Amino acid sequence: MGFVYALGALSIACAVASGVIASFIADYLESRGTQANRRVFALLRRGHILRYLRVYRDITRRETGHVGPLYEAYVGTVLGIIVFGVFAILIRAGILSRG
């Protein structure tokens, strides 16, 4: 049971990290002249982060020739939420066994 809680904790940690990274992306876009809502909950709840993520990717590609590190970090944390959360649910439901 402790393993399930550890997976759940990792999923929550990824969710917190994605909120922090979303805030950094909004700050970056504001420094480049794009009007961005900096409140993290508004970013995530309203889905604005998906639009900002696309704008961030385009701006960093144009400036540096490749995608910026915050883009990759955000995508990685979202994948972490999904993977850790799904495994925790599957193990808790008994579909996957640890042994």
The verdict on residue 32 lying in a domain is yes
How many domains, the chain? 1
Question: Is there a domain that residue 98 lies in?
Answer: no
Quickly list H helices, 1-99.
2-31, 40-45, 48-64, 69-93
Tally of helices (H runs) and strands (E runs) in the chain: 4, 0
- What does the mean pLDDT of the chain come to? 86
Residue-wise pLDDT for 56-88, tens only, equals: 999 999 999 999 999 999 999 999 999 999 999
- Domain of 57 in residue numbering reads as 2-93
Judge whether 99 lies within some domain: no
The lowest-confidence range among 18-22, 31-35, 38-42, 93-97 is: 38-42
pLDDT beyond 80 at 98: no
Residue 54 belongs to some domain of the structure:
yes
Does residue 16 lie in a domain region?
Answer: yes
